[in-house]
Structure 1
Amino acid sequence: MLLYKQKKNHALKGTRFLISITVLGSAGPIRFVVNEDELVASVIDHALKLYAREGRLPVLGSIIDNFMIYSPIAGTEALVPWETIGSTGGRNFFLCKKPQPEKAVDDEKASPMSRKGGGSWKSWFHKSRNHKISSH
C-alpha cells in the first residue's frame, strides 16, 4: 500500500527531465533538471540564476523579460513564456537576449556631434567615395 502511494504522488509531480541551455557567447551549456509542467519563464529565471551563480561570462543580468529561449525543434520562433517547457518536445535550448529597439532620437534633441553632416553612414560612404573618385 505504501509503495502504491509513492507512485501515485510521483505521477502527480509530473515527468522530470534534464535540459541543456546554451547561452550565446558562453563557453558551454547549462544543464539542470526541470519538471515538464514548468513554464518557459520559470526555466529562463532558473537558467539566469544558475548562470550567475557559476560566474559565467558574459554577464547577463537577471531580468527574465530581457531574454528568450529557442528550441531547434520549434524553428526560428522563440518559445512563449507562459507555455510549459515539456510542450516543446525538446531537451536542448538556446538562451539569448531580446533585441533592444533602437531609441528614436529627435532632431531637436540630438547633440551637434551626433548628426554632424546630417546623413546616414550610407550617404557618408557615397560622398567620400565620390570625393576620392573626383580627386584622382
Structure 2
Amino acid sequence: MPASGSTQSVAAEGAPEADSRRLTRLLVNVTVDRSLWPVHLVLGADATVADLVRAAVAAYVREGRHPPIHQHPGGAADGCELHFSKYSLESLRPEEKVLDLGSRNFFLCARRSADAA
C-alpha cells in the first residue's frame, strides 16, 4: 500500500510543474511553392507570420534550394505570402502570432499582384 500512495503523491506533485511550463520554441514546416521538400524552422513562441516568412525565405536561400525565389526591391520575403495550405485562397496576416494559428505546417508562395485580383 505505501508504494501506491507514494506514486499518487509524486503524480500530484508533478502536476503543478506541468502546468507551469510554457512553450518557448516552435518547430514549423514551410513548403515553398514548386519545391520538393519543406523547410524546417525553429522559431520563438512569440514569432509572427512576418517573422516566419522572413526566416523561411532566408533558410531556403541559404540552403541553395531550387527553384530560386525571385528577388524583390524590398527583399525576397516582401514578395511572398503564407497560407495554411496550397489550396487555401486567403493568405495569413503578417501580424498574427504563429502560436495562435493552430498549425505548424504552412505553404509559402509568391504574392499575388493587385492587378490579378
For the superposition of Structure 1 and Structure 2, which TM-score range results when normalised by the shorter chain? 0.5 to 0.7
Across the two proteins, how many residue pairs are aligned to each other? 90
Structure 1: runs of 5+ lacking an equivalent: 1-9, 104-136
Q: Distance in 1 between matches of 2:35 and 2:28?
A: 17
Q: Distance in 2 between matches of 1:85 and 1:48?
A: 16
State the superposition RMSD in angstroms: 2.0
Moved more, 62-71 or 38-47: 62-71
Pair 1:48 & 2:32 matched: no
Deviation at 1:102, TM superposition (A): 4.5
Q: Which of structures 1 and 2 has the larger relative contact order (alpha carbons within 8 angstroms, sep 6+)?
A: 2
- Partner amino acid for 2:24? T
Deviation at 1:36, TM superposition (A): 2.4
Structure 2: runs of 5+ lacking an equivalent: 1-20
Look up the match of 1:78. 91
Q: Distance in 1 between matches of 2:90 and 2:113?
A: 17
Look up the match of 1:59. 68
- Structure 1 segments, 4+ long, off by >4 Å, are none
- Partner amino acid for 1:59? P
> Counterparts of 1:74-113 in structure 2 under 5 Å?
75-102=88-115
**CA deviation map 1:27-63 (0-9, x unaligned):** 1100011122111111111111100011001111343
Percent identity reads 33
Q: Which has the larger radius of gyration?
A: 1
**CA deviation map 1:83-116 (0-9, x unaligned):** 111110100000000122459xxxxxxxxxxxxx
Look up the match of 1:132. none
Look up the match of 1:3. none
**CA deviation map 1:1-44 (0-9, x unaligned):** xxxxxxxxx85xx5312110000101110001112211111111
Pair 1:31 & 2:44 matched: no
Q: Distance in 2 between matches of 1:98 and 1:43?
A: 15
Contact residue 83 and residue 108 of structure 2 kept, 8 A: yes
Q: What TM-score, normalized by structure 1, do the two folds share?
A: 0.59
